[in-house]
Amino acid sequence: METESLHPQPSISDEESDDGSDSFSFDTRQLIGAEAENMETLPEVEGLCISGEARLGHTIQVVGFGTNGTVRCDFAWLRFYDDGSRCYIAGEEKAEHLVTADDVDSYLAVDVIPIGREEQMGDLVRIFANGHRKITCGNQMQDAVEQSFFNGHESFDVYLVEHDNSSKRVQLKLMKDRFIIKNRKFYTVVEQKFMPDMTITIPTESTTGFEIHCSGKIQSLLLEADTSTLRDLIVLIMRSFLLRATHTPKENKRTNRCCLF
């Protein structure tokens, strides 16, 4: 069946659907003449690939050609792990994805489903970022994480986001068994030991923020770094401190080095 060709390598971007709901579609300017003559043929995407470097702090994007009446695509990013497990990334349903510390040590992929003008769905296509190689934090960041880990302490200037969304500059100090947040006058605002049920997460909607979910009466803390790369570094270091404080067996205390990732 004959279809009209599109402009070379149009990017797939998000666009609002006719019914007002949030969906994700090709740039319509790059899809002129993309309708198929036979509507019984399923929508397709040709030349599908991921552009950009899959490195921490970098945004990667799905690109391709829409054919057979494709007017938009649905996306779902997911991570695969060495043990065979996988998980879809909540809220990541656009053509673009910011590579973060959460992607480290996983195989990053995206599921793409082409959608036609009559909402007919094409076949799901899955492609992997980084040439189907595992996402790493890079040698420089790995060295920084290991150095902080073996030093047993580190400090960062970050912003503490208040309940009214205002923020104030604070110092986040990481120690072997706890973290401390001090204000600009160096008064302690928060001091909390690392606990087994504590987690450090990266909100999907924030490019520079991270959350510390504490146990007990301490509410979750939202902090923001100056850049996404600095945020990822803090998260990786803090997670390594948390892991050591809560999971290191007593018989391994004399170990000089360990594999963090």
The Cα 54–Cα 136 span in angstroms is 9
Give 138-142's long-range contacts (Cβ < 8 A, gap of 24+). 138/55, 138/56, 141/56, 141/229, 141/232, 141/233, 141/236, 142/260, 142/261
User: Does residue 180 lie within any of the structural domains?
Assistant: yes
CA within 13 Å, CB half, 188: 7
Q: 92, 112, 132 — which closes off a domain?
A: 132
126 plus 159 within the same structural domain: no
Query: With 50 as the cut, is the pLDDT of residue 244 above it?
Result: yes
- What is the tally of structural domains in the chain? 2
pLDDT at 205: 87
34 plus 106 within the same structural domain: yes
Q: Where are the beta strands (DSSP E) in 52-106?
A: 59-67, 70-80, 86-88, 96-98
Average pLDDT over residues 215-238: 91
175 plus 148 within the same structural domain: yes
| CATH value at residue 47 | 2.60.40.2700
127 plus 78 within the same structural domain: yes
Query: With 50 as the cut, is the pLDDT of residue 26 above it?
Result: no
36 plus 108 within the same structural domain: yes
150 plus 92 within the same structural domain: no
Q: Domain range holding 121? A: 12-132
pLDDT at 219: 79
156 plus 111 within the same structural domain: no
107 plus 169 within the same structural domain: no
Query: With 80 as the cut, is the pLDDT of residue 19 above it?
Result: no
pLDDT at 248: 56
Query: pLDDT-based confidence at 32, cuts 50/70/90?
Result: very low
Average pLDDT over residues 171-196: 93
User: Does residue 99 lie within any of the structural domains?
Assistant: yes
User: Does residue 241 lie within any of the structural domains?
Assistant: yes
Q: 94, 112, 132 — which closes off a domain?
A: 132
User: Does residue 246 lie within any of the structural domains?
Assistant: yes
164 plus 204 within the same structural domain: yes
Partnered with residue 29 across adjacent β-strands are: none
Q: Which residue carries 């195989």 as its tokens?
A: 107
The Cα 73–Cα 45 span in angstroms is 9
Query: With 70 as the cut, is the pLDDT of residue 9 above it?
Result: no
pLDDT digits (tens, 9 = 90+) for 104-118: 999 999 999 999 999
144 plus 63 within the same structural domain: no
User: Does residue 259 lie within any of the structural domains?
Assistant: no
What secondary structure does DSSP assign to 135-146, as a single string? P---HHHHHHHH
For the chain, the distance separating the N- and C-terminal CA atoms, rounded to the nearest angstrom, is 49
pLDDT digits (tens, 9 = 90+) for 39-95: 468 999 999 999 999 999 999 999 999 999 999 999 999 999 999 999 999 999 999
Measured from the Cβ of residue 16, the count of other Cβ atoms closer than 10 Å reads 11
**pTM metric for this prediction:** 0.77
| CATH value at residue 244 | 2.30.29.30
User: Does residue 64 lie within any of the structural domains?
Assistant: yes
| 210 dihedral zone (left: phi>0; alpha: psi -120 to 50; beta) | beta
pLDDT at 236: 98
143 plus 128 within the same structural domain: no
Average pLDDT over residues 129-157: 96
Looking at residue 103, the DSSP 8-state letter turns out to be G
User: Does residue 3 lie within any of the structural domains?
Assistant: no
